[in-house]
């Protein structure tokens, strides 16, 4: 963590204010010295050998005093480069914040990099009290968070290939989906490599098919018989050579991509498990009902180790997008799902709430109760996630591991219907 942030710097603590409009290769910056109105501007290439000396000149010029830096992003190469300097205090800005600021004061809607840096600088100098400095968590926590998010992206990529493979086979070779039940398996990839079309599949000898299935641990006589009958009795969906050849190539591409991603995901799982089990917060998240090896590390990485990051549970609920937004205009009042939020965080809590149903009795009671009232499932899950965040926040803040029996007893003591709804149903 940045030691400069331990005392929560105020505007008067800064020697200068620096706004940077991030770009892929070259950034535009604008600087204003404290208690002065004159602005300086320039550009900065995204190269370590250029950023380093540029920051060194800032340190020398301001004698190592704190400099507030506003950047229109929260992660990326520039952020990572600047975070290594203890005299720079980073204030990440959401792109929509700058866009709305521009719309509010520039009726033309004109946009340019110099204009953006001036607006970022105005936000930084005039509204610093509303901004929150970026105080990175421990390297272990940040690595766990990044690996968890990267793993999810990789899983989503594999899922897109699985769906693509299934859709492709349904067009020209649907019998393959009957021959293997799991398109992500090694069996599926080897099957399509050896028999990419129905015509080739039906030319295989029964003994060859048996050896192939045995090699892939398919030993059930019933299952082997089904595959042999499939090869013998199946009729082609189409004989159009254009569809068959293009389908064959696309199916093999998807199958190979899936097999490439499988060990990558397994490697992510292994490293995430290692980091999670060695983390200082492990005991708070390991036994959460339904979290499992994928969700528990994601929850840990979200909360982290800095107890000052969130003052109240509703800060977490709003930040991650689980808390709804209320909009009022005259006599009209509406409640809407919060859109402006880190999507991965919202997804994490939503999925955890859904997974908790299998292991948490009160959570199951909660969903059953509102389903009986006709509420939509995902709306109930979001509401359940809202409650879970309040519980997890208390456990995290007080460093107390969650205990299902203790929480059920507390609900029962309070007379909550969610502690007894299941019993009421079974007794009817």
Structural element, H or E, at residue 317: helix 313-319
| pLDDT (0 to 100) of residue 402 | 97
Residue 269, classified by CB atoms within 10 Å of its CB into exposed (0-12), middle (13-18) or buried (19+), is middle
pLDDT band at residue 426 under the 50/70/90 scheme: very low
Task: Indicate the residue among 243, 275, 307 that finishes a domain.
Answer: 275
Spatial neighbors of 219 by CB under 8 A, at least 6 apart, are 213
Q: Which pLDDT tens digit goes with each residue over 180-210?
A: 989 999 999 999 999 999 999 999 999 999 9
Residue 68: strand, helix, or coil: strand
DSSP-assigned letter for residue 388 = H
Closest to 391 in 3D by CA, of 369, 370, 364, 362: 362
* Whether residues 320 and 408 fall in one domain: yes
| Residue indicated by tokens 């490439």 | 260
pLDDT band at residue 78 under the 50/70/90 scheme: confident
Spatial neighbors of 276 by CB under 8 A, at least 6 apart, are 144, 282, 285, 286, 293, 296, 297, 300
Identify the domain containing residue 61 by its residue range. Answer: 3-136
Task: Indicate the residue among 242, 275, 308 that finishes a domain.
Answer: 275
Structural element, H or E, at residue 326: strand 325-329
* Whether residues 118 and 199 fall in one domain: no
Contact (Cβ atoms closer than 8 angstroms) between residue 362 and residue 370? no
* Whether residues 172 and 241 fall in one domain: yes
* Whether residues 126 and 212 fall in one domain: no
Task: Indicate the residue among 275, 306, 334 that finishes a domain.
Answer: 275
* Whether residues 289 and 420 fall in one domain: yes
pTM attached to this predicted model: 0.79
Spatial neighbors of 284 by CB under 8 A, at least 6 apart, are 300, 395, 396, 399, 400, 401, 402
Q: Which pLDDT tens digit goes with each residue over 354-397?
A: 999 999 999 999 999 999 999 999 999 999 999 999 999 999 99
Contact (Cβ atoms closer than 8 angstroms) between residue 197 and residue 248? yes
* Whether residues 178 and 210 fall in one domain: yes
DSSP string, 1-33: --GGGGG---GGG-SEEEEEE--SSEEEEEEEE
Contact (Cβ atoms closer than 8 angstroms) between residue 418 and residue 369? yes
| pLDDT (0 to 100) of residue 38 | 92
The domain total for the chain is: 3
Spatial neighbors of 224 by CB under 8 A, at least 6 apart, are 209, 210, 213, 218
Q: Which pLDDT tens digit goes with each residue over 289-347?
A: 999 999 999 999 999 999 988 889 998 998 888 988 776 666 666 676 776 678 899 99
């Amino acid at each position: 963590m940045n030691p400069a942030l331990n005392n929560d710097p105020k505007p008067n603590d800064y020697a200068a204010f620096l706004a940077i409009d991030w770009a892929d290769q070259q950034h535009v910056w604008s600087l204003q010295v404290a208690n002065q109105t004159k602005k300086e501007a320039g550009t900065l290439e995204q190269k370590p050998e250029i950023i380093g000396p540029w920051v060194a000149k800032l340190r020398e010029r301001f004698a190592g005093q704190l400099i507030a830096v506003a950047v229109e992003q929260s992660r990326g190469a520039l952020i990572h480069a600047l975070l290594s300097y203890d005299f720079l205090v980073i204030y990440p800005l959401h792109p929509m914040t700058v866009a709305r600021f521009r719309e509010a004061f520039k009726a033309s809607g004109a946009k340019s990099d110099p204009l953006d840096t001036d607006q970022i600088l105005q936000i930084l100098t005039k509204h610093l009290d509303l901004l929150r400095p970026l105080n990175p968590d421990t390297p272990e926590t940040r690595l766990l968070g990044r690996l968890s998010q990267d793993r999810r992206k990789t899983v989503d990529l594999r899922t897109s290939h699985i769906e693509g493979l299934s859709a492709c086979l349904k067009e020209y070779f649907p019998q393959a989906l009957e021959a293997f039940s799991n398109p992500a398996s090694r069996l599926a990839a080897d099957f399509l490599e050896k028999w990419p079309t129905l015509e080739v599949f039906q030319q295989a000898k029964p003994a060859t098919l048996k050896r192939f299935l045995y090699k892939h641990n398919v030993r059930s006589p019933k299952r082997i018989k089904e595959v042999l009958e499939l090869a013998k009795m199946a009729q082609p969906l189409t004989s159009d050579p254009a569809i068959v050849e293009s389908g064959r190539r696309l199916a093999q591409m998807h199958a190979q991509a899936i097999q490439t991603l499988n060990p990558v995901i397994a490697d992510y799982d292994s490293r995430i498990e290692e980091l999670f089990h060695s983390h200082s917060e492990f005991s708070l998240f390991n036994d959460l009902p339904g979290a499992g090896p994928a969700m528990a590390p994601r929850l840990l990485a979200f909360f982290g180790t800095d107890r000052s990051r969130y003052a109240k549970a509703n800060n977490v609920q709003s930040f991650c997008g689980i808390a709804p937004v209320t909009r009022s205009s005259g006599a009209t009042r509406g409640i809407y799902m919060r859109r402006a939020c880190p999507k991965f965080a919202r997804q994490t809590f939503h999925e955890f709430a859904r997974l908790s149903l299998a292991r948490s009795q009160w959570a199951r009671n909660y969903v059953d109760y509102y389903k009986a009232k006709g509420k939509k499932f995902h709306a109930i899950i979001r509401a359940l996630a809202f409650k879970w965040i309040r519980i997890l926040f208390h456990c995290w803040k007080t460093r107390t591991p969650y205990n299902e029996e203790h929480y059920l007893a507390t609900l029962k003591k309070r007379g909550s219907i969610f502690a007894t709804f299941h019993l009421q149903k079974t007794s009817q």
